[in-house]
Each structure stands twice: as C-alpha cells, then as structure tokens.
Structure 1
Amino acid sequence: MRARLGDEFHAFIASLAAPAARGLRVNTTKITPEAWLARTPFSLQPLPWLPEGFLITDPHARPGRHPYHPAGLYYLQDPSAMLAAVLLDPQPGEWVLDVSAAPGGKATHLAARLQGRGLLVANEVVRPRARTLIDNLARFGVRNMVVTHEPVERLAQVWPGRFQRVLVDAPCSGEGMFRKSEQARKEWSARAIPGNAARQQRILAAAATMVAPGGRLLYATCTFAPEENEAVVARFLRTHPDFDLLPPPDLPYLAPGRPDWLSADLARGLPLERCVRIWPHRSPGDGHFYALMARRGDPSPPEPLTPPPSSLPRQSLNLLRAFWQETMVGPMPEDGWVQYGDAIHHLAFSPDVWGALRPVRAGVRVGRILRGRWTPHHALALTLTPDQVQRTLRLAPESRDVRAYLRGEALRSPGADGWVLVTVEAFPLGWARRVQGVVKNHYPKGWRWK
C-alpha cells in the first residue's frame, strides 16, 4: 500500500490506528429521520449520502443499551456500509436478494427501502450467523422476507433471472475492518488473498444468473486489495458481456476505482474507474469497495405476490382466532396463514416463491402452539403499532420499568387481564401477559439485558 498510496500512505496508516467511526441508521419503516432527530438522546451528525444515516459524535454514548435499540428504531452500522442500499436503490415492490446477509446491516436497510412491498431474500451460508440475521430483521419489523441458508449456486438453481436487485457483499480479507477489529488484523494474511478472489469470482458469477434483465448487481467488499476488488470486477465483465459497469452518483467521499493497480491486459478497455473506493483517511467510515453493474435487456415489472390460502389445522386456526379476538383490533386476515412445526407464520407471498428450498424463516412468525396453548411470538410484536392491540403498557425510555422489562422482570400495572403489548413510548418492545395486575414478562430470553 505504501507504493500505491504514495504521499497519502502515512495518513492512511494513521486512520487505521484511530477509533472506528460509529454510525446510526434510522429504521424508516418505524420513524422518519425528522421525527428521530426530534427525540434522539444522542449527539449526531448527518451523513451526506442518505437522510436516515448519522455519525454518533459522543464517544461515551451507548446506543446499543438504549430501549430504542431493541424497539428497532435504528441499526448501528459503519457509515461506509450504508452506501450499499443507496447504490443498489431498491424500489418498493421489487424482488431483492442479499447473497451474504448476516448480521443484517445491509439487509435491514434494503428492507426499509422496500417499505414492506415486494420480496427480500436474505441468505447466509453460516448457520449460527443466520440466527443473528433473523433477529435483526425481526427487530426491524420486516414482514416481506425469506431467510435462507444455502450455497449461492443452490439459490441460482431456484431463482434464475428473478431479482431486480442483487447484493453480493463478498467474504474478503477484511482490511477495511482493521481499526474496528483486532481479530481482523491478527487473521489477515497476504497468502489468503488469491483464495478469497477465487471464491469471490465464483459467488459473483452465480449471483449474476439471478439478476433479471434490466436489473442491478452490486459487488461489495470491505478490503483494499485490488486482487479482490477491481480484478474480480474486471474478470467478471470479461466473461459476462451482458453486464455493464455503471457510474456512481456524485456524492462526497467516493473515490474512483484504480484500474492502474491491475495489469494492463486485465484492465484494458474497461471503465473500472467507475468502481467506488471509500478510504478511512478521507471519509467518516471504514474502508469499502463497491461496483454497481446492470444487466442488459428490457426490464419487466416485478412478479406480483399474493398471500397463499390459509392451510392451518382446525385446532391451530381456533387458537389463532381466539388470540386475535381477545388481543388484536380489527379483523384477522383470511389468507396467508401457514404452520411449520409448532410455529404459525403469516406470509404475504406463496411458498411457491422458494420452490424446493427450505427457508429458515419466512414472513412473520406470529405465534407458537405448545401442548395446546397459544403464545404470541416476539416477531409479531415488533411489526405492530399500539392502535392494533387492545391492551398496551406504555413505558418511558428512561424509566426503571422499561429496563426491568428488558431484563425479563415482571411488572405491576392495573388493567384487564390478557396479552399486553409493551412499548417504549409508541414503539413496541414485546409481549407480556397481565394477570390480576401482575404483568408477566415474555421478552425473549436470548434478547434480555444483563
């Protein structure tokens, strides 16, 4: 890097030793950026490339320990990573695929841009990371999702040419993570770069087959190595003449790609300067690389999605209806109800969407039936607003009760018995069940504060 960066090298090295920038991205499906700024307890600085993105300027702030965080009002994300959804620019109603989606930063952003319409497929090949992905999508109240745990080649067999937007956030050597992660620094090895590049080439080629004509394909890494960045894009374009590299928008901190760091034969004739590099010594975020490509052809409207006919067993349907009548406001949807094991889900799309795949989560998990008893699921609570539920318990963000609830403790509150939606201000946190003034806690054990 010393030879490549020249006079900038010392500033670059100094930036890697500086504290990592902390970003906060507002969940626009739950609150507008303007409403968030009116109530935020944190000192924030707006980011120039998206209205919902901010820098946290107070080094002592702990936004992960504020009740607004489990309520899904924001995601804590590196500012450079927020650019992915800006570049890919998904539109409501489209089919969108995130090939390597965990832990969910970019996937939740794509979901917010879809505004609850269309389809988000979030894939993660590492099973434990898929669990974190599901939790973050649930925290954001995402309904129109399918979470899969598959090799990208398997996805390509099921969904050829089906998606208007595809994100490949490729596994890489992680050089952009050096100032954030000591583990990334310790595990880095130049010997791993050729293997990473070969894997990235394979993933990108398979993902490209799922892009619809006229669709967009975004390749992203968090490394500086040209072997994993411009070189991967160049080889892809050489072998995929139906894709064009698009120029990026005119935004601050976006540096051009570096075709001069490749061999002349590989770079010749390709507009690789249209790639985007974000440098930590020039921008408020960590190092990232992006290449936005379009598949040639006339775009077609996204395939319409409709809920499937309900297929619940009679006992499950009766328990669901009883819960709905006793707890919810308004009529229960007639369609979209399916059961997987002991879990009841509501789908906005038919299971035919995923064909022979076996998703690890689809739609909204509404509740579970154990030994003939119904328990609403946490994911349902996070999709609701207080006016959709008959009984709510509104807690102040700085109150002792809200922290007691998040620790899993019971509360006391007068009112009618039954399931209660617990909220921080008007934003749902989860379920509780009130019995004779005692509010029994049903906040998930794995989510509870210590």
Structure 2
Amino acid sequence: MNLPIAFEEKMRSLLHEEYADYEKCFDEARHYGLRVNTNKITVEEFLKIAPWKLEPIPWIHNGFYYDGDSVQPAKHPYYFAGLYYLQEPSAMTPADRLPVDPGDKVLDVCAAPGGKATELGAKLQGKGVLIANDISSSRAKGLLKNLELFGIGNMMVLSEEPGKLTEYFRGYFDKILIDAPCSGEGMFRKDKKMVKAWEEHGPEFFSKIQRSIITQAASMLKTGGMLLYSTCTFDPSENEQTIEYLLSEYPEFEICSIRPYEGFAEGMPETGESGNQELKKTVRIFPHRMQGEGHYLALLKKGHCEENHEADADRAGKTAGRKKKLPEELDAFFQDVDWELDASRLDIHGERVYYMPEGLPDLKGVRFLRSGLLLGELKKNRFEPSQALAMCLKRKDYARVLDLPLADERVIKYLKGDTLDLEDMVSAKEKGWYLVCVDGYPLGFGKLLGQTLKNKYLPGWRWMGSGQ
C-alpha cells in the first residue's frame, strides 16, 4: 500500500524501531467484529445460539471476532432481532471504557452510525437517558434505526451543532462520549479511500474542530461527571494536544486511568506542548500491537478522579407535568403489555404517541429525529403499535406471542413483509396483535385475522435479497 510520505515520516518519529512492524501490518487482513447487545441477551446466552464460529476480543467483554470472508452476520434473523452490532474491534473500545451506569444521563456527541451509542444505550438498561447527536441529519437517520433495532427506548436522536446543545444541557450530563471527526489515519488499512481523504483534509483541519467540540462538551458535563474522548487517528495534534487544550481551558478536569489491556500503548506526553506526564494515562491502539485498527482514547473527570463530587444541581425540569390519563385506545392495547406506563411522560403529536425519558430540559428549538420511544399511532377507535415498541419489548412482556424457530421459513417471509399462514400454530387462535419472535427474540408486530397474520414489519427495515 502506498502511504503518503509525510504520513510515513510522522509514523517513524512516533514509533521509532516499531515502525517496521507497523508497516508489515498492511499485509495482513482487516479484522471483523461483532458486539453482543446485552440489553437483549447475555453474552453466555448468545454464545449458545451463535450460528458461526466466534473468537473473543480479549479487551471487550461482549465483543467477538468473526470470519468476514465466509459469513454474513448482517444477513441473519438474529441481526434483525437486534442481538448484536457489527463493529470494527478497536472501535468498540471507547463505549466499553466509558463507565456508564443505569440511570445516568449520557451524551454521544458525534453518534452516527450508532456503534458507540448502541453500547451506551445497552449499558443504561432502560434507565436514565441517552442523547445521541449527529450534525448530519442523513447520518442521524441510520443512527435512529440502529438504536431502535437495539431496543433503546430511553433516548433522543438530535441533529445539531454541538455548540447549540450547550444552550440546553449546561451541567446536565453524567457521562459524555466524543468519538470525534478526525483525519482517519488509523483506518488506512481497513479503508484505502481514507488515504485520499487524509490528503484533502489532514490533521490541522480536524484538530480545530475537535478543540471546539471537546470544550463545548465540557460545559455540558456535571461536576464529578466523566468524558471519554476518542479518535481513529495517530496525529498528536488530534490526540494528546487536544487533551492539553481541554485542560488549559478547563483546569478542573483530570485525566483518569483507563482499564488496561496488554496491547494498549501509553499516550505520548513528549508529543505535546506541556510535557504533562498524566497524558501517559491516555491510550493509543496500534494495529501491529493488537488485532484492531488504530485508535486513541482519553478518559477525563470533571474534578479529581479519586474523589466523589456531588453533581451540579439538576437544571432539568421533569417531563412530568399535569396528571394525564392514557388515551382509551392506548390503554386498551397496554392491557396486554406488562409495562407500567407513566401517563405524564406521554407526548402526543397528531396521531403519534411518544414515551419520553424522565428529567429532560425544555428542548424547544432543537432539531431532533426522535424524541423518546415512538409507541405507535392513534387511529380511529384503535391503536397501532410501532416497530420501535416491538424492539423494546421482551417476549415475556406481551400477552400474545408468535414465536417461530430459526429454521421456520416463515421467519424470512415475515422479514420480507409477506403475509403468514398460521393454520398449524395452536398458539395463534385469538385475533388481534401478535409480537412475532425468532427463538424468543422480538422482530416486530403482526395482526391475526382468522389463521392469517397480516404483516406489520416496518417496510424500510425489510429483508432484501437472499440469506446465507
């Protein structure tokens, strides 16, 4: 592979005697990764049903390598059930190393297409809120689909400049992840087109953007909150020097240690301007040291890492307002759902009914693609549940379930949008809405009339082409 001379010289100065090993890695095949959705299934349960040979990614507890040349996990019903996300192994690291707890208020600043946001949402386990933002509305649409596929309901998908968000969320978040736009040097092996992009927009272009984003995000973090900054590049101006800039603007931040792995390399204080030895606590991932592409990570706390600070006063008003009653049609549907809906969290726009996360500030004026969980639509004398609701449910949560084994040809027919014949299904007798599952994991809804299931799988999600 022909690398730009300026890039080669920079890498030689960073790696010294290791440069030859780095250069050799371009002769090796890229690595394919799969990350289990622990919001829907445990790692142990997934390994029992996994259709392919998987090898553990040693530094990611729910990450696995698969053979991308022989299998297509994106063409499998379990993918459509949201049981896993396909992601480059090193790219799993930022969300894995940000310590998110259920109930946290979490921001993913540059979230599309959702590789990090889906893991952050899974860690929340349905509690707290995930704000997933991407400035590109077209990319944010893919982000929304991935979050809904993963069954993340306590979320909002925004499409704003990070600077605009500071007007609404100052001192609001417990955890923030910034997977910053960067020059992409760590992805040269995976995607050769990144080299041309690097020649057009190099590190100097991106470092200015990164400094703006990280300082804006810092103002949205509570005292005692944690911020993880990451890139997929090697240039010090985008990595150590960006962290130096944050510390100069916000001296209350402190660099924290990242849970170690033997393949991680220390950050390089010598590449910065301050000589701050704490930068060694940041992490560099080099593809010749471990089985993944190039990355950089820095974990910081607003306050001292070893101390617990009380969070800033919560400036968010509760979404709960006046007591509300569930609309009759919605109430009738939810008689079959083992959920306790808080009517005060409902937000109804025309026919559409949304279930909002708790404790949000007033977001009037923000551009968003989704606010909360879309429960469905109120039609005349009836309620039609959404695809997003189906993906948030567990099999045990709904009264009427059509559970098809993986080998049943009707699984693929359902995912293609076909009507299903259920004459042989003893369990499908009572007319009405059914939650269609594969091996116990929801795929979507259907409506039973006689012995025929009218398919309600979302058209934009349907199975295209042949399977494995």
1:272 is aligned to 2:279: yes
Structure 2 equivalent of residue 116 of structure 1: 126
User: Residue 128 of structure 2 contacts residue 358 of structure 2 at CA under 8 Å; is this kept in 1?
Assistant: no
185-194 or 221-230, larger mean C-alpha shift: 185-194
197-206 or 365-374, larger mean C-alpha shift: 365-374
Structure 1 equivalent of residue 461 of structure 2: 447
Structure 1 equivalent of residue 62 of structure 2: 52
Q: Distance in 2 between matches of 1:110 and 1:353?
A: 23
1:139 is aligned to 2:149: yes
Q: Distance in 2 between matches of 1:331 and 1:288?
A: 42
1:435 is aligned to 2:449: yes
Deviation per CA, 1:402-432, whole angstroms, max 9, x where unpaired? Answer: 1111111111114222111110111000011
Q: Distance in 1 between matches of 2:190 and 2:376?
A: 38
Structure 1 equivalent of residue 40 of structure 2: 30
Q: Distance in 2 between matches of 1:305 and 1:70?
A: 36
User: Residue 415 of structure 2 contacts residue 462 of structure 2 at CA under 8 Å; is this kept in 1?
Assistant: yes
Structure 2 equivalent of residue 15 of structure 1: 25
Q: Select which of 298, 301, 304 maps to 1:294.
A: 301
User: Residue 169 of structure 1 contacts residue 220 of structure 1 at CA under 8 Å; is this kept in 2?
Assistant: yes
**TM superposition shift of 1:143:** 1.9
**TM superposition shift of 1:190:** 6.7
Cα pair distance change 1:376/1:237, threshold 3 Å: same
Question: So what's the TM-score if we normalise by structure 2?
Answer: 0.88
Deviation per CA, 1:332-367, whole angstroms, max 9, x where unpaired? Answer: 554422112431111231554546534321221010
166-175 or 241-250, larger mean C-alpha shift: 241-250
Q: Distance in 1 between matches of 2:322 and 2:168?
A: 24
Structure 1 equivalent of residue 135 of structure 2: 125
Structure 2 equivalent of residue 281 of structure 1: 288
Q: Select which of 397, 404, 422 maps to 2:436.
A: 422
Cα pair distance change 1:350/1:295, threshold 3 Å: closer
User: Residue 55 of structure 2 contacts residue 66 of structure 2 at CA under 8 Å; is this kept in 1?
Assistant: yes
| 1:69 partner SS | helix
| 2:238 partner SS | coil
Structure 2 equivalent of residue 76 of structure 1: 86
Structure 1 gaps, min length 5: none
User: Residue 166 of structure 1 contacts residue 207 of structure 1 at CA under 8 Å; is this kept in 2?
Assistant: yes
**TM superposition shift of 1:50:** 3.0
**TM superposition shift of 1:382:** 0.6
Deviation per CA, 1:111-158, whole angstroms, max 9, x where unpaired? Answer: 111221112111111001111111111111112112111111111111
Q: Distance in 1 between matches of 2:100 and 2:360?
A: 23
Structure 1 equivalent of residue 107 of structure 2: 97
| 1:90 partner SS | coil
User: Residue 88 of structure 2 contacts residue 293 of structure 2 at CA under 8 Å; is this kept in 1?
Assistant: yes
| 1:217 partner SS | strand
User: Residue 179 of structure 2 contacts residue 229 of structure 2 at CA under 8 Å; is this kept in 1?
Assistant: yes
Q: Distance in 2 between matches of 1:307 and 1:393?
A: 35
**TM superposition shift of 1:288:** 0.7
| 2:132 partner SS | strand
**TM superposition shift of 1:372:** 6.7
| 1:368 partner SS | strand
Q: Distance in 2 between matches of 1:218 and 1:440?
A: 46
Q: Distance in 2 between matches of 1:408 and 1:155?
A: 39
Cα pair distance change 1:395/1:228, threshold 3 Å: same
Q: Distance in 2 between matches of 1:278 and 1:363?
A: 35
**How many residues in Structure 1 have an aligned counterpart in Structure 2?**
444
Question: So what's the TM-score if we normalise by structure 1?
Answer: 0.92
Q: Distance in 2 between matches of 1:330 and 1:157?
A: 34
User: Residue 308 of structure 1 contacts residue 348 of structure 1 at CA under 8 Å; is this kept in 2?
Assistant: no
**TM superposition shift of 1:165:** 0.9
Structure 1 equivalent of residue 159 of structure 2: 149
Deviation per CA, 1:3-29, whole angstroms, max 9, x where unpaired? Answer: 432332233233234322111111111
**TM superposition shift of 1:63:** 0.9
Structure 2 equivalent of residue 387 of structure 1: 396
1:176 is aligned to 2:217: no
Cα pair distance change 1:447/1:168, threshold 3 Å: same
Deviation per CA, 1:228-278, whole angstroms, max 9, x where unpaired? Answer: 11121122222221111122222221111122334xxx1323422222111
| 1:405 partner SS | helix
User: Residue 49 of structure 1 contacts residue 86 of structure 1 at CA under 8 Å; is this kept in 2?
Assistant: no
| 1:403 partner SS | helix
Cα pair distance change 1:332/1:241, threshold 3 Å: closer
